[in-house]
Amino acid sequence: MSNPSPNGPASHPDLQATRIVVLGGGPGGYEAALVARRLGADVTVVEQEGLGGAAVLTDVVPSKTLIAAAEWMSSTERAPALGIRLGGTPGSDAPAASVDLAAVNQRVLALAAAQSADIRARLEREGVRVVLGAGRLDGPRRVVVPAGPGAGEREQTFDADAVLVAVGATPRELPTAVPDGERILTWKQLYNLQTLPEKLVVVGSGVTGAEFAGAYRALGAEVTLVSSRDRVLPGEDADAAELLENVFTARGMEVLSRSRAEAAERTADGVRVTLADGRVVEGSHVLVAVGAVPATAGIGLEEAGVALTPSGHVVVDKVSRTSARGVYAAGDCTGVLPLASVAAMQGRIAVHHVLGDAVHPLNLQTVAANIFTAPEIATVGKSEAALRASGSKYVTATLPLARNPRAKMLGMRDGFVKLFAHPEAHVVLGGVIVSPRASELIFPVTLAVAHRLTVDDVAEAFTVYPSLSGSIAEVARMLHQPLD
Ligand SMILES: Cc1cc2nc3c(=O)[nH]c(=O)nc-3n(C[C@H](O)[C@H](O)[C@H](O)COP(=O)(O)OP(=O)(O)OC[C@H]3O[C@@H](n4cnc5c(N)ncnc54)[C@H](O)[C@@H]3O)c2cc1C
């Protein structure tokens, strides 16, 4: 077997000989495994839960499938404006539709399991060795998988020319609000619910808290969202966050801002959440969504020379190298940007680097992200806060969705399109779209940011009339600077 130098853009006469062991089968791991296999490497993926990782089994796929059901319920809100009476006789107060949460969750879990099985089958078809079990590093070039359920009767050892650590993260737990899986829940435990919570208290108003609070309200639960900050979605575009908070409260959600939750405990038939100022919020269930911790403890990283931050995240550079030669890391365990798309990109970059292929270092400027609330909030490029903080020159224009003809026809009121551009070069620097299906609408803005298109480039391209994307071209026209 050859002895390539995984830490440099090596010249490998025989890529078949390069052994890559991937620890963790989420998007950071399995996408990299596929690319490495395609490039001819010998690839092993060690995964302790199921292929697809938390992204597929407990996080992205389940939450977005649940949200698909919630979205269906939200869209019925628009029915009366379109002249449609739901719930039987005209003027009836009967609910438009009701939710069978057991059926919704059964679908969620079945879809996630099927997706995981598809990923495993694809990896195996491509010739990736899949090993079930909890692995750890034994030095920088070896991964050990102890015997255990699913892992076999004997400890297995895999020598590697390069190891990719993609072990993800797990929900952060508060010692004063320990999840019991029944009433005090993490986001991974929500899918065991058989009936809709009467009143769900959501602790944490970041993306995860906001998505679940919005979804459960749309499904029919009473929801109280407890936020330690001034408003929901701190760190996101301020106009978008304000709009969403207004929509939440208009839908009957109680939003408690500047309210830090200190503890949650079970009562005879529900939960009691105590806030730092002594107030008490009662509910039937509480979802604790206060961030995640990297799954990097006790797997031999520091012993192998891999530097961790004080929060336990793996320190990586823009080509996913860690401080230990031959060890790379990708995804949530690096704390770079907790998105499945970023994890996959980091993993792919790592194997291109290991195998001496052309490598484009990670560029976070063009990452498109979406918050799956109703309306959705999609962003790309520079945020207004970042532009202000860096003292960059920029111009901006915003068009409310309510002025878009297609939105009027569809009965959509809440949302906007906002673009930022450079005042002299006129290039599009970033954008925010708040709208149903903003996740689909953001792509033209992503193309503009990625390829440094000017506002005139965007404005001069045809859009369908009538269409929501017409507002993107319209905002670009608002930013046109006439010649002097
Ligand atoms: C509720 C929720 C919703 C989200 N929605 C979105 C979304 O819509 N879009 C988006 O882009 N991102 C979303 N994210 C973020 C996304 O889930 C993560 O960014 C993504 O999962 C990161 O991928 P990963 O490969 O780093 O980790 P993971 O997906 O967590 O995979 C890591 C895998 O490693 C395995 N593992 C850990 N330790 C070991 C070990 N010692 N041995 C073997 N295996 C091990 C774990 O079992 C796991 O399967 C969401 C997150 C949450 C919490």
What does 301-353 look like in DSSP terms, one character per residue?
A: TGGGT--B-TTSPBP--TT-B-SSTTEEE-GGGGTS---HHHHHHHHHHHHHH
At 125, the amino acid letter reads: R
Ligand 1 pocket mutation pick from 44, 59, 303 by most atoms within 8 angstroms of CB: 59
CA distance 141 to 161: 6
CA distance 136 to 165: 10
Give, using CA atoms, the residue closest to atom 35 of ligand 1: 24
Give, using CA atoms, the residue closest to atom 38 of ligand 1: 167
At 385, the amino acid letter reads: A
Helix H or strand E encompassing 73: helix 60-75
56 alpha carbon, distance to own chain's centre: 11
Q: Could you tell me which residues are beta bridge partners of residue 266?
A: 271
* Token digits of residue 194: 């058989």
Give the global pTM: 0.94
Ligand 1 pocket mutation pick from 339, 371, 376 by most atoms within 8 angstroms of CB: 339
Helix H or strand E encompassing 239: helix 238-250
* Token digits of residue 221: 């639960």
Q: Is the CB of 208 under 6 A from ligand 1?
A: yes
Helix H or strand E encompassing 119: helix 101-125
- Interval between CA 119 and ligand 1 midpoint (Å): 14
Alpha-carbon Rg for the chain, nearest whole angstrom, is 24
- Interval between CA 287 and ligand 1 midpoint (Å): 19
CA distance 50 to 279: 41
The predicted pLDDT at position 220 comes to 95
Q: Is the CB of 299 under 6 A from ligand 1?
A: yes
Q: Is the CB of 421 under 6 A from ligand 1?
A: no
Residue 105 φ/ψ region, left for φ over 0, alpha for ψ in the -120 to 50 degree band, beta for the rest: alpha
CA distance 87 to 84: 10
Nearest to 160 by CA among 366, 328, 34: 328
SS3 140: coil
Q: Is the CB of 33 under 6 A from ligand 1?
A: no
Tens of pLDDT, residue by residue, the chain (484 residues):
333 333 333 344 454 479 999 999 999 999 999 999 999 999 999 999 999 999 999 999 999 999 999 999 998 888 888 998 887 555 666 666 889 999 999 999 999 999 999 999 999 999 999 999 999 999 999 999 999 877 778 999 999 999 999 999 999 999 999 999 999 999 999 999 999 999 999 999 999 999 999 999 999 999 999 999 999 999 999 999 999 999 999 999 999 999 999 999 999 999 999 999 999 999 999 999 999 999 999 999 999 999 999 999 999 999 999 999 999 999 999 999 999 999 999 999 999 999 999 999 999 999 999 999 999 999 999 999 999 999 999 999 999 999 999 999 999 999 999 999 999 999 999 999 999 999 999 999 999 999 999 999 999 999 999 999 999 999 999 999 887 7
SS3 357: coil
* Token digits of residue 9: 């853009």
Listed in sequence order, the residues at least 6 apart from 63 whose beta carbon sits closer than 8 Å to its beta carbon are 187, 208, 211, 212, 215, 372
Nearest to 374 by CA among 108, 82, 112, 66: 66
Q: Is the CB of 316 under 6 A from ligand 1?
A: no
CA distance 176 to 97: 38
Q: Is the CB of 341 under 6 A from ligand 1?
A: yes
Atom of ligand 1 nearest to the CA of 136: 41
Residue with tokens 């962003």: 379
DSSP string, 376-417: EEEEEE--HHHHHHTT---EEEEEEGGGSHHHHHHT--S-EE
Nearest to 286 by CA among 267, 273, 299: 273
* Token digits of residue 378: 């999609």
Decide if 201 contacts 281 (C-beta within 8 A). Answer: yes
Q: Is the CB of 338 under 6 A from ligand 1?
A: yes
Give, using CA atoms, the residue closest to atom 26 of ligand 1: 331
Q: What angle do CA 374, 375, 376 make, to 5 degrees?
A: 100
Q: Is the CB of 187 under 6 A from ligand 1?
A: yes
Q: Dihedral of CA 330/333/334/338: which sign?
A: positive
Decide if 31 contacts 43 (C-beta within 8 A). Answer: no
- Interval between CA 171 and ligand 1 midpoint (Å): 11
The predicted pLDDT at position 153 comes to 85
Q: Is the CB of 71 under 6 A from ligand 1?
A: no
CA distance 407 to 168: 39
